[in-house]
Amino acid sequence: MAWIEALALDRRAAIIDVGGGASTLVDDLIDDGYESITVLDISDTALDVSRRRLGHQADLVMWLSGDITKYGLPPNRFDLWHDRAVLHFLTDPADRDAYLQNFRRALKPGGHAIIGLFAPEAPPKCSGLPVQRYEHDSLAEALGSEFELQQHHKELHVTPRGVEQMYLYCQFRKSES
């Protein structure tokens, strides 16, 4: 949230939280006065958790249920793309390419992206599923030359079961052209 606040986006900026499901980021965005929030997740159950938690405030959010590798997001729609822990689950090159194509198309020129994923020090699996681990330069290369890395940070996350997972958070800005 600190990185989002530091961007000083207009409160009408269009924000998408990819894989946001049951995350509380949407709560924080609403509390901060953002007016154009979209949450996309593959799990209807996770989306329902957030909608129930938010109560009447859930009506302030556009809820999208679907797979980001197949969901057709509108072009140049979003000022901010947030993804914590979706991209790293896309180990199939075709799925990763579909995600990146959607990402590049949906983010406005000059838009921002904050992506959190497994760093090289993280385990090769999460919840029994294989993951693709990234370093900030390999993620920048995957996104493409139209994206400039603004900042990156590693953080050790300990799961409720005590498993240590090193996360990499990166913030990018898409070129204006």
Residues of the chain short of pLDDT 70, as ranges, are: none
Write down the pLDDT at residue 127.
Answer: 87
The C-alpha R_g of the chain, in whole angstroms, comes to 15
Report the predicted TM-score, pTM, of the whole model to 2 decimal places.
Answer: 0.96
> Considering all CA atoms of the chain, what is the largest pairwise distance in Å, rounded to the nearest integer?
45
User: Where do runs of H (alpha helix) occur along the chain?
Assistant: 2-6, 25-31, 44-54, 93-106, 136-143
Write down the pLDDT at residue 113.
Answer: 98
* Paired tokens of 142: 């995957």
| Fold that domain 2-174 belongs to in CATH | Rossmann fold (3.40.50)
Write down the pLDDT at residue 97.
Answer: 97
CA distance 45 to 149: 34
What contacts 13, CB < 8 A, 6 or more positions away? 34, 36, 79, 80
72 to each of 37, 66, 121, how far by Cα in Å?
17, 10, 33
Write down the pLDDT at residue 57.
Answer: 98
Write down the pLDDT at residue 83.
Answer: 98
* Residue at 149: amino acid letter: L
